[in-house]
Amino acid sequence: MKFLSGGKVKDIYDELDGEPDYLLFRFSNRVSAYDVKFVQEIPRKGEVLCRFAEFWFDKLDVPNHFVRRESDTDIVVRRMQMLPIECVVRGYLYGSLYDRWKAGEVALDVSRDALLASRLLRPLFDPTTKSEHDIPVDRQAALDMGLVTAKQYDWLEENSIMIYTAMSKIADSAGFILADLKLEFGIADGRIILGDSIGPDEYRLWPRDMFEPGRVQQSYDKQILRDWLAEHGYKRRFEDERRSGKDPSPPEIPTAVVSAMTRRYIDSFEQITRLALE
């Protein structure tokens, strides 16, 4: 097996014995937020991401690149040509969408006094570029940049919203709200199929019984780390450091935040899948 590349969360290996058309994804306990990688790891995070990927790929009735799970942290997937666009679907006015809306950078079918975390009238397809710092793009921008063709963009919009809707129903049955979702797709055998992975690093998940518009929501994903960083001024510091040409330096994550993330990752997996992690 040959190491191919390492990302923020998972490592990719090539040249599987006797399986040249497959790749191996190895999920780690690494964590990043606001495009900053942290030194500390989140115990059992890689295991949860791996098991969630298996669950969602098996559960969703859409063609995808998942082949099998190899271990607690490894899955085998089909090799394919990834499309250079991240397909984000949003169901609630939250995160960067809320900030862009307040700044007048995006028009939404909501009242001007809409609260943070308000539910949108319908899921919004809000894709971005696939780069170190993702940039939101609309249909025309995606076409002008050559990210996808018009036919591909329309297919991605329709199917991304369909997947978000299906996952939302599953999450709702487990007592969660799926606030938003990031998907990636690629081409294999001449058709577009779902790729990458699906788990708490690709969506915001809120407990339904604690949901309250107008405030920061309790999150069962890595949003808990983003909230801690924003509350203590690190988000702004990261932005200032980038503007001055420096690479942002990560602070030490408090033990309580690390422990809470591990617990919430495990809890969300067990509640949604109805499977127990050993």
User: In the chain, which residues have pLDDT < 70?
Assistant: 132
Segment 178-189, tens digit of pLDDT = 999 999 999 999
Is beta strand 128-129 parallel, antiparallel or unpaired with respect to 119-125? unpaired
Same domain, 37 and 164: no
59, 78, 97: which is the final residue of a domain?
Answer: 78
48, 78, 108: which is the final residue of a domain?
Answer: 78
Same domain, 64 and 114: no
Looking at residue 211, its pLDDT comes to: 97
Same domain, 70 and 186: no
Same domain, 124 and 185: yes
Same domain, 67 and 91: no
| CATH number of residue 176's parent domain | 3.30.470.20
Greatest Cα-to-Cα distance within the chain, rounded to the nearest angstrom: 59
Looking at residue 1, its pLDDT comes to: 84
Give the total number of structural domains in the chain: 2
Same domain, 142 and 219: yes
Same domain, 69 and 88: no
Looking at residue 241, its pLDDT comes to: 95
Same domain, 71 and 85: no
> Is the residue at 259 inside a domain?
yes
Say whether 49 sits in a helix, a strand or coil. helix
Q: What is the dihedral of CA 75, 79, 84, 85, to 10 degrees?
A: -50
Same domain, 144 and 62: no
Same domain, 103 and 176: yes
Same domain, 33 and 85: no
21, 50, 78: which is the final residue of a domain?
Answer: 78
Strands (DSSP E) found in the chain: 2-6, 10-14, 22-27, 32-33, 36-37, 66-69, 74-78, 81-82, 85-92, 119-125, 128-129, 176-188, 191-195, 203-207
Same domain, 170 and 96: yes
Looking at residue 100, its pLDDT comes to: 96
Host domain of residue 33: 2-78
> Is the residue at 278 inside a domain?
no
Whole-prediction pTM: 0.93
> What is the rounded CA–CA span in Å between residue 117 and residue 98?
8
Looking at residue 19, its pLDDT comes to: 86
